Structure 1
Amino acid sequence: MPEGHSVHRIARQFDRNIVGRTVAACSPQGRFAEGASVIDGREAVAVRAVGKQMFLAFDGDLWLRVHLGMYGAWDFAGEILVDPTIASANGRMGQTNQRGTDLGAAVEAAASVFDDAGENSLSSIGAPRRARGRVRMSEQTQGLGGDGDDFPPPVVGQVRLRLLTEVTCADLRGPTACELQSPDEVQATIAKLGPDPLVDDLAEGEERFTAVVRRKPTPIGLLLMDQNVVSGIGNVYRAELLYRALLDPHTPGKLVPEAVVREIWRDWARLLVIGVETGQMMTMDDLDPEAYRRAMAHRDDRHWVYHRAGLPCRVCGTEIVLEEMGARKLYWCPSCQK
């Protein structure tokens, strides 16, 4: 499932390639035919991401709400515009990691590294994975077929919605939600979501998050996945945030010390920005240039506990545990996270 950083990156891509242009819309699959006919011929005027949901505004006070869910993805083709400030933006992000350690040398060393999913993370802020002529906007999926020479490209597979400008094509596949909303409905949807560090005032978001967690008897490992408590955190970030806080996932929210709850929020704000700027869920600190290069190139080298079931903890050597919590896999260290 794409987590919050991916959705913010998708919104950036839409801002560069779709917003400000008249859009032709259709539903090749047929499941969104009526909605596509309403959008068709309108100008996209704004886009915003909140947590795991994206909202694309069209003229006439009409909004498209998309929630990718477990299997959804956006594929882009044609002229993909990249922010000209990419290099400086990634330089700024890379020069200090989450704990403030200088990583300028690491960024320079990793500048030409493509990760094992095919993305040059340090020079593609907002620009997603590219494969065989197409670009796929989700965290864990590969590009589809096509040689990239034909525009618009032929429809491949089950495309719920195609948005087409003169130079760019965006295909939506497998979303949990794809619907049209009025401005009031958009506000009502967003009002139900927990704070997002990239949308809400950081101090106000911290207070909201802390107040909710501190009154809940629900395990903190479930609260972090509840989008009504905090927006954007998914399975990877949950495991990593809990490990970084050295917190047992089963601890009831109301028993987590207030200082720890606040630090989780602040840590999430740091990691989310890093994810948006680099395109990777980088959660390890204090890496030397070579380790940083490996981490950006391979997902298995950029996490403390996620996807490491049965392997020794990187700190204490205890075997990392895998269990199910909230119908999702949870990875944690029973020794460090007491």
Structure 2
Amino acid sequence: MPEGHTLHRLAKLHDQRFAGGQVRVSSPQGRFAEGAALLDGRVLTRAEAWGKHLLHHYDSGVTLHIHLGLYGKFTESAVPMDDPVGEVRMRLIGGGRTGELRGTDLRGPAACEILLEPEVTALTARLGPDPLRRDADPDRAWDRIRRSQRPIGALLMDQKILAGVGNVYRAEVLFRHGISPDRPGTQLSYEEWQGIWSDLVDLMKVGVRRGKIVVVRPEHDHGAPAYAKDKPRTYVYRRAGDPCRLCGTTVLHSVLDARNLFWCPTCQPR
């Protein structure tokens, strides 16, 4: 599932290309036909992301809400666009403020729906602070973490506590700060939380800027390659059974709340 930096990168791209002008919206697949009809010919005023949610705001007062889920993907294209291929849930074409027409196809999202303002408010209200948003208040997340007996590895993935952090950033930021994913939230210090938050802000900003996850510090970026082609080099994520880049201890794996968990037992002692 795409992590928060991917959605912020998409929001920035869509805001640059489509916001400020009328857009043509259709649903070649047909599953979003009614929603597309409400947006077609309207002005997209702005695009933004909140955690793993993408929001397109329109001059009519409605908002398009998209959650990519496991399989959702946007394909950007020049205009004129080719005939739709596959199950295209939504096709959007517009020129934004510049008038230079571009298009994008959305396939396989977990959610593609029209929301009214109260529904948008309800959606964002149930999400935790997003490290990539300027209006984020990290103390909101800290107030819940410090009172929870749940492992910090689970708390960081709970979108109601912290929005936008996925499995890669979770594993890597805990490694970078030497914190066991099993440590209860009540045993985390405020200084440790501040370090985690600040690191997430920096790392995820790099993800937005470069379009990929970069978590290994330059002085450690040697030795074993990435866990798969075109994937990020990591300290522990997807490296179970391999030696730790810092100490050589075997990286371990378990499952926490139905998600794969990776850590180094030496660098992240219980």
User: Is 1:25–2:47 an aligned residue pair?
Assistant: no
On the 8 A contact 2:93/2:102 being kept in 1, the answer is yes
Instruction: From 176, 193, 209, give the equivalent of 1:277.
Output: 209
Cα offset, 1:178, TM superposition: 1.0
Distance 1:301 1:23, change over 3 A: closer
Superposed structure 1 runs of 4+ greater than 2 Å apart: 297-302
Instruction: From 186, 195, 202, give the equivalent of 1:254.
Output: 186
Instruction: From 90, 96, 99, give the equivalent of 1:161.
Output: 90
Letter in 1 for 2:107: R
CA separation in 2, counterparts of 1:301 and 1:164? 32
Q: Deviations over 1:110-140 (max 9, x none)?
A: xxxxxxxxxxxxxxxxxxxxxxxxxxxxxxx
User: Is 1:304–2:235 an aligned residue pair?
Assistant: yes
CA separation in 1, counterparts of 2:192 and 2:155? 14
Instruction: From 262, 266, 273, give the equivalent of 2:198.
Output: 266
CA separation in 2, counterparts of 1:171 and 1:230? 29
User: Is 1:51–2:86 an aligned residue pair?
Assistant: no
| Aligned length, in residue pairs | 261
Instruction: Give secondary structure in 1 for the equivalent of 2:186.
Output: helix
Q: Deviations over 1:252-304 (max 9, x none)?
A: 1111222212211111111111111111210111349x96xx88x96566311
CA separation in 2, counterparts of 1:226 and 1:198? 16
Q: Tell me which residue corresponds to 1:102.
A: none
User: Is 1:74–2:74 an aligned residue pair?
Assistant: yes
User: Is 1:313–2:252 an aligned residue pair?
Assistant: no
On the 8 A contact 1:318/1:335 being kept in 2, the answer is yes
**Structure 1: which 5+ runs fail to align?**
80-150
Cα offset, 1:21, TM superposition: 2.1
Instruction: Give secondary structure in 2 for the equivalent of 1:17.
Output: helix
Q: Deviations over 1:41-94 (max 9, x none)?
A: 111111111111111011111110111111111111006xxxxxxxxxxxxxxx
CA separation in 1, counterparts of 2:205 and 2:231? 20
Instruction: Give secondary structure in 2 for the equivalent of 1:210.
Output: helix
On the 8 A contact 1:300/1:307 being kept in 2, the answer is no
Cα offset, 1:165, TM superposition: 2.3
Cα offset, 1:188, TM superposition: 1.7
User: Is 1:186–2:120 an aligned residue pair?
Assistant: yes
On the 8 A contact 1:209/1:265 being kept in 2, the answer is no
On the 8 A contact 2:23/2:94 being kept in 1, the answer is yes
1:103-122 aligned within 5 A: none
User: Is 1:325–2:259 an aligned residue pair?
Assistant: no
Instruction: From 154, 159, 162, give the equivalent of 1:227.
Output: 159
Q: Deviations over 1:133-172 (max 9, x none)?
A: xxxxxxxxxxxxxxxxxx2112111111111226211111
1:141-160 aligned within 5 A: 151-160=80-89
Instruction: Give secondary structure in 2 for the equivalent of 1:263.
Output: helix
CA separation in 1, counterparts of 2:219 and 2:117? 45
CA separation in 2, counterparts of 1:218 and 1:153? 50
Instruction: Give secondary structure in 1 for the equivalent of 2:218.
Output: coil
CA separation in 1, counterparts of 2:231 and 2:208? 19
RMSD, aligned α-carbons = 2.0
Q: Share of identical aligned residues, percent?
A: 43
**Structure 2: which 5+ runs fail to align?**
96-100
TM-score (norm 2): 0.91
On the 8 A contact 2:212/2:232 being kept in 1, the answer is no
Instruction: Give secondary structure in 1 for the equivalent of 2:82.
Output: coil
Instruction: Give secondary structure in 1 for the equivalent of 2:197.
Output: helix
On the 8 A contact 1:62/1:180 being kept in 2, the answer is yes
TM-score (norm 1): 0.73
